[in-house]
Amino acid sequence: MSSRKPFIMSKFRGTILFFCFFIVLNSAKAQVIAPDSVDRLVERTLKTFDVPGISVAIVKDDKIVYEKGYGVRSLATGKKMDENTLVGIASNSKAFTSAAIGILVDEGKIKLDDKVTDYIPEFKMFDPYVTAEFTIRDLLTHRSGLGLGAGDLMDWPDSTDFTIADVIHNLRYLKPTSSFRSKYDYDNQMYKVAGELIKRVSGISWEEFIQTHILTPLHMEHTAPSYQLLKDRSDVADAHSPVDGKVVVIPRFLTTTANSAAGIYSSVADLSKWVIVQMNNGKYDDGKQLFSESIHREMWTPQTIVPVGTTTAYNTHFGAYGLGWFLSDVKGYKEVNHTGGIDGMVTKVTMIPELKLAIVVLTNQGAGAAFSAITNQIKDSYLGITGRDWVKIYSDQVKASEGNADKVVADVWKQVDARQHDNPKPDLTPFAGTYHDNWLGDAIISLNNGQLWFSAKRSPKLSGQMLPYKGDTFVIKWNYRSMEADAFATFTFNDQGKPIGIKLNPVSPLTDFSFDFQDLDYKKQLVN
């Protein structure tokens, strides 16, 4: 979530062994990347990372200097991707939510440091102190103390059963992994709460507020706050993912509660209008103000420190999260960016305000390496950096990381296969029953033809066979294979040796963080 989300990579399918060189025109202060260079870059990226469709926009000095679609928006129809093709922008929706909060601040209806419980009295975190001190600003800055992606299984992979009331109620059961405001951990649930707060303060839904206060004024005519609200679906991308080694169309991620975190559908043509407003401190239409300059400064001011690696490609020293935006320094310039990912769609929006430069990349396959390669290669041209081939750099990284992950997974399945020959077969009857987790609800462990099966009642896609692994640990092989998120299930026992609980963890180190299996704590229910 991806917000489905941060950096997501899918299976690498091949490398094209040639280098793409850029033609840079004019002086270092007004560099323009040649359109045919962008064409070669994107076409190569499509093939290298096996992405069906990509659209790209470049905005410079308040003008759209490039916007184009490549490939197809759906492998099922073969229809072409273009600059107006709508894609689920996922967590790039968060900047719209922070802007909506800013508009309410400008209207004098709220303050950023107001307590959340002033507007949502039933809001409750695991720690009473955190509940009492939690502010609207905290909702937007990923510093709640919850772990990475905590609670995302209420949306991911299913998102039709939980209401916003359920989400708010269930926050009290999510145990923190760090102290309040001490550490950055990406969090979708608090942006859902922010959407509800906008509704309660404004008197209209988050979706209606975004439409009337942002999309309509900015003439983002094809964009909608959710897929369900799209008026015209004639040019919408399908979601794609590798399944059994082949990229195919997969079911679209639809949510009823997470639109304020990840729901918006937009195109590079419409998002170009959004980034122009951002780079002009909220101004649009010859001087109108969407949100105030003071609120804009808050959005782009570091609120939560984000760790930065020891070596970085752009000599980056500092990283932070503002209000709906990641902030960092690149080659002496401020960069503002965000990524987003849902099932089969990942996106990236990048701005370097001092250069009045923005790059928008939308894709219809979960390969984050693709949007990063395109963004960085275009960014290099405007920064005057030469000699780097980002498609090759990222393809090498993908091969290395996936090679390591594939080895881990292969070793697990080798052990699972060996256990199939156990003799005598273990008695699995005691493991069957109903297990309850406070926030995800019941899971049914059933015994069928000598095999255990797992099924989460409130998340139907979390269903699959449980295969013996080591000791009292099983591997759940999910029926829905495009998730690529098989999980360990380890049983706990009472002093009579009877199963009383289950803890889950992902098998692959590349499992998306929104499969927060580690936050579940299933307890076996007694039979009356």
Alpha helices in 233-300 (DSSP H): 259-262, 268-279, 293-299
What's the longest Cα–Cα distance across the chain?
79
How many degrees, rounded to 5, is the angle at CA 281 between CA 194 and CA 332?
100
> Residue 35 in 3-state DSSP?
helix
**CA separation (Å) from 52 to 184, 249, 377, 475?**
34, 10, 20, 32
pLDDT at position 475: 97
Contact 467, 497 (CB under 8 A): no
The tens place of each residue's pLDDT in the chain, 528 residues long, gives: 544 333 333 332 232 222 233 333 333 444 568 889 999 999 999 999 999 999 999 999 999 999 999 999 999 999 999 999 999 999 999 999 999 999 999 999 999 999 999 999 999 999 999 999 999 999 999 999 999 999 999 998 987 789 999 999 999 999 999 999 999 999 999 999 999 999 999 999 999 999 999 999 999 999 999 999 999 999 999 999 999 889 999 999 999 899 999 999 999 999 999 999 999 999 999 889 999 999 999 999 999 999 998 878 999 999 999 999 999 999 999 999 999 999 999 999 999 999 999 999 999 999 999 999 999 999 999 999 999 999 999 999 999 999 999 999 999 999 999 998 888 888 899 999 999 999 999 999 999 988 999 999 999 999 999 999 999 999 999 999 888 899 999 999 999 999 999 999 999 999 999 999 999 999 999 875
Instruction: Tell me what pLDDT residue 528 has.
Output: 59
Find residue 340's DSSP bridge partners. Answer: 347
* Token pair in block for residue 343: 């099932």
φ, ψ at 106 (rounded to 5°)? -60, -35
Strands in 270-344 per DSSP E: 283-284, 288-289, 304-305, 319-321, 326-330, 333-342
Could you please report the per-residue DSSP string of 211-251? IIIIITTTT-TT-BSSGGG-S--TTBPPEEEEETTEEEEEP
pLDDT of residue 420: 87
Interatomic CA distance for residues 291 and 98, integer angstroms: 11
Place of tokens 């091949």: 14
pLDDT, residue 287, reads 86
Q: Give residue 26's pLDDT.
A: 37
User: What is the structure's pLDDT at 15?
Assistant: 27
Please provide the DSSP assignment of 54-93 as one string: EEEEEEETTEEEEEEEEEBS-TTT-PBP-TT-BEE-GGGG
Question: In sequence order, what are the residues at sequence separation of 6 or more whose Cβ sits closer than 8 angstroms to the Cβ of residue 444?
Answer: 433, 434, 435, 454, 455, 457
Which domains can be identified in the chain, with CATH numbers? 24-92+222-393 (3.40.710.10), 429-524 (2.40.128.600)
Give the three-class secondary structure for 300: coil
Angle between helices 94-106 and 189-202 (to 10 degrees): 30
Distances (CA, A) of 201 to 214, 226, 256, 502: 17, 21, 20, 41
CB 343 within 8 A of CB 4: yes
Pairwise CA distance, residues 158 & 1, whole Å: 12
User: What is the C-alpha separation between 447 and 432, in angstroms, rounded?
Assistant: 6
What does the pLDDT read at residue 479? 94
How many Cα atoms sit within 13 Å of 92 on the Cβ side? 30
